[in-house]
């Protein structure tokens, strides 16, 4: 340490540090909101550290705070707007060990991509933790290329598009291709929801004929084939113009295999899975209150869920996100008789890491470093915010989640912090819990309680993605 370094204000002592690149016992020295150094356990402290606040992490895991690359905050789709703002969403995030969210700025028809992104970016300041942003294109016009170039220059480099939701957010293939080309040339990347809309509308038409369009029949209204068809086309579009692409919420091994095959031929394809597709299955639609699990793509059969899980350790899944969408029961129940009129999406920003940890790390064979890679490092890398986020190394923001890997607790909506009155995991017993969470060196959650609710969120600009290199 020389005189110009920030002073050591805090030390997380005695824990096992787990970064994607390294893990072992170490003390974490923090100052100026950053990680200053990792030091061998019990090593003599540098001068000036005597007054530092010490957090005892003995017996705990010390992880970089999670990065949730797929989070819809206050999302309007059709007649429904999800119920959280940045304050609520990030409060739930930090309780769940996540310290950076990546939200979407999705236009309504007629709104400009850039205006919506600028408006949404301002909301970051209401958060308890930092956030990055995906812009979105739903219709191509003469000004779109320029808007995208400007957004990339400003640090919003990822752009969401949908191959479904006709009449709302669906983009046609020309729009997707044009967007990919511009992003490729400006250090950006398309982020695509892949479900072939024509197949879905046909699935739904047949469901109506059978009088099976209610929530109990959700799974049959959006087939795995629809997902495969769209993944195949979107990968081909990216390949045809040598552009990178990030495929959100891939829910079946077949879709993951399509992406993996493209990667083997050199296409820069990244695969996202979401926690609920890795844990919950379509039996939920056949039980009570099926509307609580209505999401796109829908939950899949148990064999599919378990097979998807095997790809986590194999490395063919790049990230695990939440696809957080915070509707409440009143919204979910309003149109249970017709899934076409229901709000799609599940609340999950707070439960993503605990359910994944419990199911796949504790007894599921997922290596802890790989857990950090999937949930923090890789999401930060593909969004151009690594190693400021998603890493626990000198220079990184001191966004840290200290976990008790052995705490057994029960997920209940009443004890969670998302702005809704239910959780898809009600009554699930999980093992492992983030108990103390730091945002840029400030303890915000301690012993499971909010100890600092200051709105200190910042929009984190993404660095341009290197068009010549793999991001992960």
- Asked whether position 193 contacts Zn ion by CB under 5 A, the answer is yes
- CB 219 within 8 Å of CB 300: yes
Other CB atoms within 10 Å distance of the CB of residue 25 = 14
- Asked whether position 17 contacts ligand URP by CB under 6 A, the answer is no
- Asked whether position 344 contacts ligand URP by CB under 6 A, the answer is yes
As measured in angstroms, the least distance from the Cβ of 418 to ligand URP is 15
**Alpha carbons 425 and 409: distance in angstroms, whole number:** 12
Q: Which two tokens stand for residue 414?
A: 């009443």
Alpha-helix runs per DSSP H in 287-363: 302-314, 329-333, 352-356
- Asked whether position 323 contacts ligand URP by CB under 6 A, the answer is yes
Specify the residue, 170 or 260, whose C-beta has the smaller distance to ligand URP: 170
- Asked whether position 220 contacts ligand URP by CB under 6 A, the answer is no
- Asked whether position 345 contacts ligand URP by CB under 6 A, the answer is yes
As measured in angstroms, the least distance from the Cβ of 98 to Zn ion is 16
Specify the residue, 193 or 381, whose C-beta has the smaller distance to Zn ion: 193
Strands (E), 279-396: 319-321, 324-325
- Asked whether position 227 contacts Zn ion by CB under 5 A, the answer is no
- Asked whether position 295 contacts ligand URP by CB under 6 A, the answer is yes
344 binds, among Zn ion, ligand URP, none (CB under 5 to 8 A by kind): ligand URP
For residue 122, give every residue at least 6 positions away whose Cβ sits within 8 Å of its Cβ, in sequence order, or none.
none
**Alpha carbons 392 and 442: distance in angstroms, whole number:** 15
Bridge partner residues of 100 (DSSP): 67, 130
Query: Parallel, antiparallel, or unpaired: how do β-strands 269-274 and 245-247 relate?
Result: parallel
Burial of 2 (0-12, 13-18, 19+ CB in 10 A): exposed
Q: Which of 83, 235, 258, 325 forms a contact with ligand URP (CB under 6 A)?
A: 325
Span 56-85, contacts to ligand URP by CB under 6 A: 72
- Asked whether position 324 contacts ligand URP by CB under 6 A, the answer is no
As measured in angstroms, the least distance from the Cβ of 72 to ligand URP is 6
Span 231-290, contacts to Zn ion by CB under 5 A: none
Q: Which of 88, 272, 323, 350 forms a contact with Zn ion (CB under 5 A)?
A: 323
Q: Which two tokens stand for residue 33?
A: 């909101």
Q: How far is CA 402 from CA 24, 97, 202, in A?
A: 14, 8, 48
The binding site for ligand URP (CB under 6 A) comprises 72, 193, 295-296, 323, 325, 344-345
The binding site for Zn ion (CB under 5 A) comprises 193, 323
């Amino acid at each position: 340490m020389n005189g110009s370094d920030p002073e050591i204000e805090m030390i997380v002592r005695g824990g096992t540090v787990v970064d994607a690149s390294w893990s072992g016992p170490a003390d974490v020295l923090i100052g100026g909101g950053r990680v200053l150094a990792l030091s061998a356990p019990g090593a003599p402290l540098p001068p000036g550290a005597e007054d530092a606040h010490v957090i005892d992490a003995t017996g705990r895991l010390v992880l970089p705070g999670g990065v949730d690359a797929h989070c819809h905050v206050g999302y309007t789709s059709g007649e429904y707007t999800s119920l959280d703002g940045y304050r609520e969403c990030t409060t739930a995030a930090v309780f769940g060990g996540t310290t950076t969210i990546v939200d979407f700025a999705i236009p309504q028809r007629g709104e400009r991509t850039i205006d919506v992104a600028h408006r949404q970016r301002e909301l970051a300041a209401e958060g308890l933790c930092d956030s990055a942003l995906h812009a979105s294109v739903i219709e191509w016009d003469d000004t779109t290329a320029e808007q995208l170039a400007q957004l990339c220059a400003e640090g919003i480099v990822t752009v969401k598009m949908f191959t479904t939701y006709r009449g709302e957010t669906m983009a046609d293939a020309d729009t997707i291709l044009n967007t990919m080309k511009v992003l490729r040339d400006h250090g950006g990347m398309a982020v695509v929801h892949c479900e072939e809309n024509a197949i879905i509308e046909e699935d739904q038409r047949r469901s109506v004929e059978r009088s099976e369009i209610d929530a109990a029949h959700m799974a049959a209204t959006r087939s795995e084939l629809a997902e495969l068809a769209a993944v195949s086309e979107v990968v081909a579009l990216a390949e045809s113009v040598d552009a990178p692409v990030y495929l959100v919420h891939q829910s079946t091994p077949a879709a993951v295999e399509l992406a993996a095959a493209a990667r083997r031929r050199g296409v820069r394809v990244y695969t996202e899975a979401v926690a609920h597709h890795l844990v919950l299955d379509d039996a939920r639609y056949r039980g009570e209150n099926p509307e609580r699990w209505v999401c796109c793509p829908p939950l899949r059969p148990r064999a599919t869920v378990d097979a998807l899980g095997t790809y986590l350790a194999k490395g063919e899944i790049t990230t695990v996100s939440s696809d957080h969408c915070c509707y409440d029961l009143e919204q979910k129940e309003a149109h249970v008789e017709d899934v076409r009129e229901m709000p799609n999406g599940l609340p999950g920003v707070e439960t993503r890491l605990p359910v994944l940890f419990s199911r796949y790390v504790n007894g599921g064979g997922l290596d802890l470093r790989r857990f950090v890679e999937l949930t923090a490092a890789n999401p930060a890398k593909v969004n151009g915010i690594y190693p400021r986020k998603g890493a626990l190394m000198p220079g990184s923001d001191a966004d840290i989640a200290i976990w008790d890997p052995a705490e057994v607790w029960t997920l209940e909506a009443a004890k969670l912090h998302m702005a809704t009155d239910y959780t898809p995991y009600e009554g699930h017993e999980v093992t492992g819990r983030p108990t103390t969470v730091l945002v840029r060196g400030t303890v915000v959650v301690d012993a499971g309680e909010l100890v600092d609710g200051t709105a200190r969120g910042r929009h984190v600009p993404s660095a341009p993605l290197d068009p010549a290199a793999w991001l992960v």
